[in-house]
Structure 1
Amino acid sequence: MTSSALTGKLEADVEIKASPEQFHEMFAHKPHHVHHTCYDKIQGCDLHEGEWGKVGTIVHWSYVHDGKAKKAKEVVEAVDPDKNLVTFRVIEGDLMEEYKSFVITIQVSPKSEGSGSVVHWTLEYEKLHGGIEHPETLLQFVQDVSKDIDGHLTQAS
């Protein structure tokens, strides 16, 4: 099997009511607050090394995916407040049992019409072998997390 057959990219858009800046702030500078918005999915995000909102920072996530408790250690590869973009590269944890590399990019843009925003999720990965599924359930998971965060951010409105 060629390397290209092992690589993949999944993308999804989620419409939210919150502003691009509000949503971006949660992942770029306050990921440790995400679990307050969706504790059934995310149990915590701890600062392992570095400083919130800075490239090179390492964070440790605890989450429940497909009914199982999981962990991920990620390094922040990009933070662009002008584009409301943040990129995480998974460096340790459960995903590394099936994937050679796994990169998650979150970019939030204003809706073209009306109020609210669109969260664009990109999962780029390389599977360890061809018997591993594409991470479609993880893509659904991050979409669900987006909706939970949006509910939290807009409940005061």
Structure 2
Amino acid sequence: MSQNGNKVEIEIEVKAPAAKFHQVFSCKPHIMASMSPQSIQGCDLLEGEWGKPGCIICWRYSHDGSPQIAKEIIEAIDNENYITNYKVIGGNLLELYKSFSSTVKVTPKENDDGSLVHWIFEYEKLKEDVPDPTGKLQILIDVAKDIDAHLLSQQP
């Protein structure tokens, strides 16, 4: 994990193919609740179409044992480079941060030996004493492991 100004990021290895992993985050975030129910309780489409930039979704998840919500707009989806950009527009995160966006990029490893998943959070704190969102990265690590296990169990 690295921290730089108002940015934190992490990269983890998964065994699933990059295209399949990317598809979950870009087009099918609503299925994450069934893949990682201890971390994500739901993801609802509020506006637009799944898998299309501009759609607005609402995550219901747990952080430190407390229920949270995050209303986000998917700002961009790059299916060629496996990148999805989200921007928080409502929910608990905006109680601490003036702005909060995340990017997930999935890169195939050589020889089709899994993928690297790179998350970046960029944010502006409402107050100086607000903590960096490193705990939210742990949620993503847990979710990534669950998604990876699920995708691998679906392969022939």
TM range (shorter): over 0.9
Match of 2:122 in 1: 124
Query: d(CA) in 2 for partners of 1:114 and 1:72?
Result: 34
Given that residues 17 and 112 in structure 2 are in contact (C-alpha distance below 8 angstroms), is that contact kept between their aligned partners in structure 1? no
Match of 1:38 in 2: 36
Query: d(CA) in 2 for partners of 1:129 and 1:156?
Result: 45
User: 1:33-55, CA deviations, whole angstroms, 9 ceiling, x for partnerless residues?
Assistant: 01011101000001000001111
Q: How does 1:83-122 map to 2 (within 5 A)?
A: 83-112=81-110, 115-122=113-120
- How big is the shift at 1:114? 5.4
Paired residues, number: 151
Identity score, percent: 46
Query: d(CA) in 2 for partners of 1:67 and 1:113?
Result: 40
User: 1:108-127, CA deviations, whole angstroms, 9 ceiling, x for partnerless residues?
Assistant: 00114551000000011100
Q: Does 1:69 align with 2:67?
A: yes
Q: Does 1:10 align with 2:8?
A: yes
TM-score (norm 1): 0.93
Greater CA drift, 136-145 or 93-102: 136-145
Given that residues 77 and 84 in structure 2 are in contact (C-alpha distance below 8 angstroms), is that contact kept between their aligned partners in structure 1? yes
Query: d(CA) in 1 for partners of 2:114 and 2:34?
Result: 22
AA aligned opposite 1:140: Q
Given that residues 69 and 91 in structure 2 are in contact (C-alpha distance below 8 angstroms), is that contact kept between their aligned partners in structure 1? yes
For 1:137, which of 125, 135, 138 is the aligned residue? 135
Query: d(CA) in 1 for partners of 2:110 and 2:121?
Result: 24
Match of 2:147 in 1: 149
Aligned to 1:23, the other structure's residue is in SS state helix
Query: d(CA) in 2 for partners of 1:122 and 1:91?
Result: 17
User: 1:93-115, CA deviations, whole angstroms, 9 ceiling, x for partnerless residues?
Assistant: 00000000000100000114551
Q: Structure 1: state its 5+ residue gaps.
A: 1-6
Aligned to 2:6, the other structure's residue is in SS state strand
AA aligned opposite 1:53: G
Which segments of structure 1 move beyond 3 Å, counting only runs of 4 or more?
Answer: none
